[in-house]
Amino acid sequence: MTRAWVLRSLRDDRYEDLALKRGLVAIGWADVGNLTGSPDLAQILDAVRAKYQFVERESVASYARQLFDFRSTMTPGDLVLLLRRSSPDVAAGHVNGDYQYSRQLPGGYRHIRPVRWAVHDIPRSLIELELRSVPSLLMVHQLDADVDLTRIDELVTKNIRLPATNAATVPEDAGELTPIAHLRANLSYARSLATAGNTLGTLKPQSFDVNDVFRAAWVQAVAGLDHWVRQELRARLRALAEQVGGRKPRRFAELEISLDQVQRVLRDEMSFADAVDEYVTKARGHLAYQQPDRIRDAFSLVTDTANFWNRVATVLRERTDEDKPADGKEVQARLADIVHRRNKIAHEYDEVPNEPGRKRDIDGAAVMRVIDWIDQLCGAILVVVDQDRTGRDLP
C-alpha cells in the first residue's frame, strides 16, 4: 500500500528551487552523518545522542524517529507532499530512489531522497482537510492510514483541480473538537485567504487592492491564536477543577469563585468545574490573548510559567527548521511584531508612517510564514505545558 508523507520545506532560500529542479527532498540534522549503513532505529538513535548531547531527550527521540522514517520507512513509490515556504502551495510527487547522503546541497543539508515531482503548485487550501492532522513541530510526517488519499491522487496523477475541501469550516459537532483542532481550522481559513490572494493577483483586478486579501489572512491568523489560547485555557481549567487531589498551580488555587457560585455548587445546581468555567467566561472573556505577557498570564492559571518563553524558545529551536530563536526574548519580540502588524492592518489601514495613503508591502509568502510560525508556536507552547502536567524534565 502506498504511503503518503508530508515534509516541510527547509529554511534556506535556495533549497526549494533546487529541490524542485533537481528532483529531490532533503531534511536536516546533518551532524548525525551518513546513515546509509544505519537502517535500524536503535542505530540512528545512538548516532543522534552522540551528536546532540545537550538537546532535550524528547527532541532527540523525535530527531531519531524522523530520520529513521526518512531513511528506512519511506520507500520508492510513496507519495511526498512538500509544504512550501515561498508560496501557499504544496509540491507533490513520488519517491523514486533510496536514501542518499550528499555534501552538495546548500545550507548543510545532507540526507536526501530522489523524488519525481508531478506538480509544484497545488493550492494548500485544496487539501487542507487531509493535512490538518500534521503535527506542527515535525519536519517528516507519515499521514495516517485512515486519511483518504483519493483527492490528492487525482491532483497529482491527473492534475485535476478538484473543489477545495471545507477544512476551514467548523463542523456541527465542533464542541467535540479539541482546541488545537479549532486552531488548525482557523489557520486553514487564513491559508485559504492567502491562496485566494495569489489567484486574484494573477487577474490584476483594478477595483481593489489584492494585497488586502493577504492582510485579512494575517489578521485571521492572529485571531486563530487568540481563540486557541482562550479555548486551551478553558479546557485546562475545567480539567483541573474536575481533578481530585494532585498538585495544582498556585494561581489556580487563587481563583475567586463568588459566594453565589459556592452556594449553587453546594445545592448541586452546578458542578465545581462549571463554576470555574463560568468564572473564566465572565472574568476573562473580554481579554485578548495575543501579546506575549497576556498569553503567559493565561497559562499561569494552569501551569508553572517560570521561564515560560525561554522554554518555548528551546522547543522551537530544537524541533523546527525555522530561524532558531536564541531565547525567549526573541520569541516574544517576533510575536509582538506580528501582533503589532495585525493592529496596524486592523486600525491604521496598514499605512507607511508619514506617507498617507501608501500601505506597507505584503505578499502570500510572508503571510504563509506567519501562519506556519503561529502554528509552530502553539505546538511549542503545548509541549511546555504538557511537560509540566506529566512531570517530565524541563529544559
Which three three-digit cell numbers place residue 227? 481563540
Mean pLDDT of 165-182: 62
User: What band does 268 get if pLDDT is binned at 50, 70 and 90?
Assistant: very high
pLDDT of residue 352: 92
pLDDT of residue 162: 52
Q: 347-351: which pairs have CB atoms within 8 A and are 24 or more residues apart?
A: 350/215
Contact 156, 92 (CB under 8 A): yes
In angstroms, rounded to a whole number, what is the distance separating the alpha carbons of residues 143 and 155?
17
Judged against a pLDDT cut of 80, whether residue 160 lies above it is answered with no
Judged against a pLDDT cut of 60, whether residue 157 lies above it is answered with yes
User: What band does 393 get if pLDDT is binned at 50, 70 and 90?
Assistant: very low
Q: Quote the pTM value.
A: 0.87
Q: What is the DSSP string of 260-283?
A: HHHHHHHTTSS-HHHHHHHHHHHH
pLDDT of residue 120: 92
- At 243 the three-state DSSP class reads coil
Contact 341, 218 (CB under 8 A): yes
CA dist list (Å): 312 to 229, 297, 307, 387? 15, 14, 9, 11
pLDDT of residue 161: 57
Question: What secondary structure, in 3-state letters, does 283-317 show?
Answer: HHCCCCCCCHHHHHHHHCCCCCCCCHHHHHHHHHH
Judged against a pLDDT cut of 60, whether residue 220 lies above it is answered with yes
Judged against a pLDDT cut of 80, whether residue 391 lies above it is answered with no
123 has which bridge partners? Answer: 89
135-155 per-position pLDDT tens digit: 999 999 999 888 888 878 777
Q: At what angle do helices 259-266 and 272-284 cross, to 10 degrees?
A: 160
Nearest to 188 by CA among 123, 125, 133: 125
pLDDT of residue 389: 62
105-120 per-position pLDDT tens digit: 777 789 999 999 999 9
In angstroms, rounded to a whole number, what is the distance separating the alpha carbons of residues 111 and 101?
5
CB 245: neighbour CB atoms within 10 A? 5
